[in-house]
Amino acid sequence: MNKLLFLIDYLIKEGNYEYNKELENALKENNEEVMYNYFRYLMNIRLPNNISEEYLKIEDEYLQERLKNKIITNIEDIKPIRDNLYLWQGDITTLNIDAVVNAANSSMLGCFIPLHKCIDNAIHSASGTRLRLCINNIMKGKTEDTGKCIITKAFNLPSRYILHTVGPIIQNSVSKKDEELLYNCYKSCLEMAKDNNIKSIAFCCISTGEFRFPNKEASQIAVNAVKDFLYNTKYDIKIVFNVFKDLDYKLYYNILK
Tell me the residue range of the domain where 26 lies.
3-68
Using the predicted structure, report yes or no on whether residue 23 has a pLDDT greater than 90: no
Domain total of the chain: 2
- Give the confidence band of 85 by pLDDT, cuts at 50, 70, 90: very high
pLDDT score of 172: 85
Band (pLDDT 50/70/90 cuts) for residue 29 is confident
Q: Is 115 in the same domain as 54?
A: no
**How many residues can be counted in the chain?**
257
Q: What percent of the chain has pLDDT over 70?
A: 100
Please check the confidence at residue 26 and state whether its pLDDT lies above 80. no
Q: Is the pLDDT of residue 20 over 90?
A: no
Together in a domain, 123 and 205: yes
Q: Do residue 50 and residue 98 come from a single domain?
A: no
Residues 187, 243 within the same domain: yes
- Do both 137 and 92 map to the same domain? yes
Name 193's Cβ contacts closer than 8 Å, sequence gap at least 6: 98, 99, 163, 201, 237
Work out the average pLDDT over 49-72: 98
77 and 50 both lie in a single domain: no
Residues 144 and 182 in one domain: yes
Instruction: Please check whether residues 34 and 137 belong to one and the same domain.
Output: no
Q: Which of 50, 68, 86 is the last residue of a domain?
A: 68
Q: What local confidence, expressed as pLDDT, does residue 28 receive?
A: 73
Percent of the chain topping pLDDT 90:
88
In whole angstroms, give the CA distance from residue 88 to residue 98.
15
Write down the mean pLDDT value for the chain.
95
pLDDT above 80 for 189 = yes
* SS3 per residue for the chain: CHHHHHHHHHHHHHCCCCCCHHHHHHHHHCCHHHHHHHHHHHHHHCCCCCCCHHHHHHHHHHHHHHHHCCCCEEHHHCCCCECCEEEEECCHHHEECCEEEEEECCCCCCCCCCCCCCHHHHHHHHHCHHHHHHHHHHHCCCCCCCCCEEEEECCCCCCCEEEEEECCCCCCCCCHHHHHHHHHHHHHHHHHHHHCCCCEEEECCCCCCCCCCCHHHHHHHHHHHHHHHHHHHCCCCEEEEEECCHHHHHHHHHHHC
Nearest residue to 199 via CA among 91, 99, 85: 99
At residue 130, the pLDDT reads: 99
Q: Are residues 207 and 153 in the same domain?
A: yes
Contacts of 170 (CB under 8 A, 6+ apart): 178, 207, 211, 212, 213, 214
**pLDDT tens digits, one per residue of 143-169:** 999 999 999 999 999 999 999 999 999
Residue 90 and residue 206 in one domain: yes
Give the pLDDT mean for 56-82: 97
Mean pLDDT of 193-214: 94
Over residues 199-220, mean pLDDT = 93
**Mean pLDDT over residues 177-190, rounded?**
97
pLDDT at 25 over 90: no
What integer is the mean pLDDT of 18-46? Answer: 86
**Can you give the CATH number for the domain in which 178 is found?**
3.40.220.10
Check residue 217 and give its pLDDT. 95
Q: Which of 44, 68, 92 corresponds to the end of one domain? A: 68
Instruction: Report residue 27's pLDDT band, with 50, 70 and 90 as the boundaries.
Output: confident
Quick one: pLDDT at residue 31? 86
Domain boundary among 35, 68, 101: 68
Q: Looking at the structure, tell me whether residues 14 and 93 fall in a common domain.
A: no
92 within 8 A of 119, measured Cβ to Cβ: yes
Residue 22 predicted with pLDDT over 90: no
Residues 95, 39, single domain; the answer is no
Model pLDDT, residue 55: 99
